[in-house]
Amino acid sequence: MNSSIVITGEGIVSAIGLDKLSVLRSLQEGKTGIGAMQYLDSVHKELPVGEVPLSNEEMKEQLGISGLASRTALMGILAIKQAIEEAKIQKGDKRIVLISGTTVGGMDLTERYYEELVHGDFKHLDCLEYHDCGGCTQFMANYFDIFSDYTTISTACSSAANALILGANLLKSGQADLVIAGGTEALSKFHLNGFNSLMILDKEVCRPFDATRAGLNLGEGAAFLVLETEESARQRDVPIHAYLNGYGNACDAFHQTATSENGEGAYLAMNEALRMAGILPSDVQYVNAHGTGTPNNDASESVALNRVFGIKMPLVSSTKSYTGHTTSASGSIESVISILALQHQFVPGNLCWKNPFNDGIIPTLGESHYELHHVLCNSFGFGGNDSSLLFSDRPTSVIDSIWSDREIKVLSKVEINSEEELAEIKQFVKPLEARRMGKLMKSSLLSSLKALQQAGIQCPDAIITGTSMGCLENSELLLNEIHEQGEQMIKPTLFMQSTHNTISSNIAIRLKCHGYNITYTQGDNSLDWALRDAKLLLRSGKAKTVLVGIHDETTPAFRDIMSRLGKKYDYSIHSLVMVLSCGN
């Protein structure tokens, strides 16, 4: 099907507003939502944050929800509700798919009851049902009862952008009639302390692209967008708010928590979005930058922007100085902001910017009236998971792939079932390189390298990973540190290897693979979703070879607690990897 992908509804919940209109007002008035911590239960009150100005109880009351619910899911439901109401979506015979991006998931609940659980008090044991990211999405989907399918993407701070990309691909390949895609992320003590251990949180309000920038401020929120084909929007007679004409997903393949000096991943992602939309860099009027306010990101993103746009730099601003860095939700929150800019023909200013730095871009301080046709929205994540989306007020001659039913071959398959097998990693990796790898990192890397070796492929075109629970061991160790020594002296290595996408990016870094890179986490369906995406990619001709894998680990404490919920896990480590290929 070669129809344009359009946006027909947007819902947003953030520090600068609980709906689209109030967000628009804050942006136009240059009002930040970053301030003193009110809702998060953390000792780090010195750190400003961008909190959604509602308590969990207030959200539950609005939504008619009683009992346990994670803040991530509650904010997500609020945003989805707005989006589907605006796009006039009702339960019916259409295939409606929910795609959510999150990394924190229900960690806010887990950390609240962790102390109880450690001390053998299992009163709130069922909080673990909502812990994992996929459980969070399932909770949101069940609330609405309109979705034929749902999944979760976890690529850290680009999760929501990648959710939109998958949504567009499902529509183009005819696998869905309507898609609700976006992301949601609540503040948690876990990731606040994690970012703090990386020493990249500013104690003042962040100043993206400023010479004196000293880090980011964390924010929270959710935003979801309704995606459909232009044809479907016309048939349903709903107004089109914007066109998603192009998108790119690339991997920086440089370091887990730092971006490369030449901004390779960011450059590739932006270029691909423009190429797909069939437009030139000079056609873009505004870039909503990732612009976190860390010295590293803003320097590297400036280099990438200069490489793409050269002397014809469009207006650029980071809106994280309004919302804070909403991590997994930032891709969709900033997509909604980009669409508001297009619809209202204005450009939000980069708050708090005063001093340029060497080779840094000069951001705009805002334009109340500005002619916009094409807006690029950047989202970059840890591990170098970089994505870029192009929103327009009109369709372009999208240069897209030709979808086919080409046969897909399995070139190799490798499985790891025990910790003993991991010793073999020494044949591939020096001890120094393996110094930070826990068993899941070793297992995923070893199985992938062996599968590629067997397939005779050095570097695949794409790496797609599924994991039902992610990096449990390091997450548990980090929770233990917070529990035992309070919120101080947290080991950065634990945080660095607690996000789901560490697995996939670790493989990419090792292979220097800059291609498409994504991580699915949807319980028992994680591998199915990874395979589904691999097939999409192969059949669209965008990749000739794809490395697909499912990787999971458990710990003794985890197995013990889960058995109380009637869930049996009989493995300590498990990896299954395949190299797939298609066409000639």
Partner 1 sequence: MDELIKQLKEQIIDVLNLEEMTPDDIDDQASLFGEDGIGLDSIDALELIVLLEKEYGIRLANPSEGKAIFKNVATIADFVSKNRKK
Q: Helices (DSSP H) in 120-220: which residue ranges?
A: 133-144, 159-172, 189-197
479 scored as a contact of partner 1 (CB under 8 A): no
Q: At what angle do helices 133-144 and 71-86 cross, to 10 degrees?
A: 40
216 scored as a contact of partner 1 (CB under 8 A): no
95 scored as a contact of partner 1 (CB under 8 A): no
435 scored as a contact of partner 1 (CB under 8 A): yes
C-beta of residue 155 within 8 angstroms of C-beta of residue 518: yes
Q: Which of 127, 136, 157, 206 is catalytic?
A: 157
C-beta of residue 159 within 8 angstroms of C-beta of residue 103: yes
Count of residues touching partner 1 (by CB under 8 A): 18
Catalytic, 157? Answer yes
* Piece of the chain touching partner 1 by CB under 8 A; list 45-53, 80-88, 251-259, 562-570: 251-259
Shortest separation between residue 382's beta carbon and partner 1, angstroms:
11
- What lies within 8 Å, CB to CB, of 311 at 6+ separation is none
| Candidate list 15, 87, 96, 496; residue touching partner 1; CB under 8 A | 496
Q: Which of 325, 500, 514, 574 is catalytic?
A: 325
431 scored as a contact of partner 1 (CB under 8 A): yes
199 scored as a contact of partner 1 (CB under 8 A): yes
| Candidate list 118, 125, 365, 434; residue touching partner 1; CB under 8 A | 434
Shortest separation between residue 190's beta carbon and partner 1, angstroms:
17
| Candidate list 31, 394, 491, 564; residue touching partner 1; CB under 8 A | 491
- Dihedral of CA 479/483/488/490: which sign? negative
* Piece of the chain touching partner 1 by CB under 8 A; list 427-435, 441-449, 518-526, 538-546: 427-435
H/E stretch holding 205 reads: none
| Candidate list 257, 327, 328, 330; residue touching partner 1; CB under 8 A | 257
Q: Which of the 8 DSSP states describes residue 325?
A: B
Q: Which is nearer to partner 1, 110 or 501 (CB)?
A: 501
Interface map 383-422 toward partner 1 (x if CB under 8 A): ----------------------------------------
259 scored as a contact of partner 1 (CB under 8 A): no
Shortest separation between residue 433's beta carbon and partner 1, angstroms:
9
Shortest separation between residue 403's beta carbon and partner 1, angstroms:
41
Shortest separation between residue 425's beta carbon and partner 1, angstroms:
11
| Candidate list 63, 65, 118, 198; residue touching partner 1; CB under 8 A | 198
Place of tokens 């439901």: 77
Shortest separation between residue 432's beta carbon and partner 1, angstroms:
6
- What lies within 8 Å, CB to CB, of 479 at 6+ separation is 110, 111, 114, 190
Instruction: Detail the DSSP E strand segments found in 140-239.
Output: 149-153, 178-185, 221-229
Q: Which is nearer to partner 1, 6 or 494 (CB)?
A: 494
Catalytic, 325? Answer yes
Phi, psi of 259 (to 5 degrees): -100, 155
C-beta of residue 521 within 8 angstroms of C-beta of residue 528: no
489 scored as a contact of partner 1 (CB under 8 A): yes
432 scored as a contact of partner 1 (CB under 8 A): yes
Nearest to 248 by CA among 354, 118, 369, 386: 386
CA distances from residue 9 to 60, 174, 224, 228, 238 in whole angstroms, order as listed: 23, 20, 8, 10, 9
- What lies within 8 Å, CB to CB, of 577 at 6+ separation is 413, 414, 415, 444, 447, 448, 450, 451, 547, 548, 549
CA 347 from chain centre, in angstroms, equals 24
Shortest separation between residue 478's beta carbon and partner 1, angstroms:
13
Q: Which is nearer to partner 1, 294 or 517 (CB)?
A: 294
- What lies within 8 Å, CB to CB, of 274 at 6+ separation is 246, 280, 281, 284, 308, 376, 390
Residues forming contacts to partner 1 in the complex (CB under 8 A) are: 197-199, 255-258, 431-432, 434-436, 489-493, 496
Question: Which residues carry out catalysis?
Answer: 157, 290, 325
